Structure 1
Amino acid sequence: MNKTIKKRENNLINALTAVCETAKCWRVGFEWLTHTTRYDNFPGSLMITCVFSSDSAMASAIECEADKKLRRLIQAELLKIGIRVKDIRRHVRMDSEESCERQDQGDWQKRLDRWRG
């Protein structure tokens, strides 16, 4: 990883950490988030996965539009560090611990690899 990519990655991690800490305070079952990307196709390949405690918590968050609020917050933080994406909905997905356990036996790496941009 060259110096420019490393700096971009660190900025991205810091921005997403700020989003994560804010969203945890909303008390909608949000637990954590992560991202994957290929820097040879950045930001087009950027995929951010927001993880909720359960399927029902995720459904409730979507019902009360916390998912939209989360996407807006992510987009705002990305813009602060100079990352522009065409359609934030294509770069942020919602998931749950429960779904990962059921479909991938709790193997988040395997699950995220399927969604890698």
Structure 2
Amino acid sequence: MKKTIKKLDNNVVKALTLACETAKDWEIGFQWLTHTARYEQFPGSLMVTCVFEHDEDVRRLTIEENDTKLRQLIQQHLLKVGIKVKDICRHVCFDSEESCEREHSGDWQKRLIHC
């Protein structure tokens, strides 16, 4: 990995770690998050996956409008490290441990390829 790409990835990790720690305190079923990116097409290729414990947590997220709040949190932290995405809705998806277990036998690497 080139030095500039490594630095960029470190900034993404830093921003997402801060967002993750904040979201864990919200008591909405949020567990963790991860990201994927093709840095030759960055930031357009950035995809953040927010993982919840149950499918019901993901369904409730939208009803209670916490999806917007969580996306804004992620976007704010990305902006703090100089990363601007055009439409945060296209860069953040929501998933659950329950769905991964049911559909991919808990294999997150396999599942994230399709997110």
TM-score with structure 1 length normalisation? 0.95
* Equivalent in the alignment of 2:95: 95
Compute the displacement of 1:26 (Å): 0.2
Q: Deviations over 1:68-115 (max 9, x none)?
A: 100001111111111111110000000000111111111000011123
Opposite residue 7 of structure 2, the aligned amino acid is K
Equivalenced residue count is 115
Opposite residue 99 of structure 1, the aligned amino acid is S
* Equivalent in the alignment of 1:14: 14
Matched, 1:106 2:94: no
What secondary structure sits across from 1:31 in the alignment? strand
Deviation above 3 Å: which 4+ runs of structure 1? none
Compute the displacement of 1:16 (Å): 0.2
User: RMSD of aligned C-alpha atoms?
Assistant: 0.7
Matched, 1:23 2:37: no
Opposite residue 5 of structure 1, the aligned amino acid is I
Compute the displacement of 1:53 (Å): 0.3
Structure 2: which 5+ runs fail to align?
none
What secondary structure sits across from 1:6 in the alignment? helix
* Equivalent in the alignment of 2:41: 41
Structure 1: which 5+ runs fail to align?
none
Partner Cα distance (2:36, 2:102) in 1: 22
Compute the displacement of 1:63 (Å): 1.2
Q: Deviations over 1:27-80 (max 9, x none)?
A: 000000000000110001000000000001111122111111000011111111
Matched, 1:2 2:2: yes
Opposite residue 63 of structure 2, the aligned amino acid is E
Partner Cα distance (1:48, 1:82) in 2: 16
Q: How many percent identity over aligned positions?
A: 63
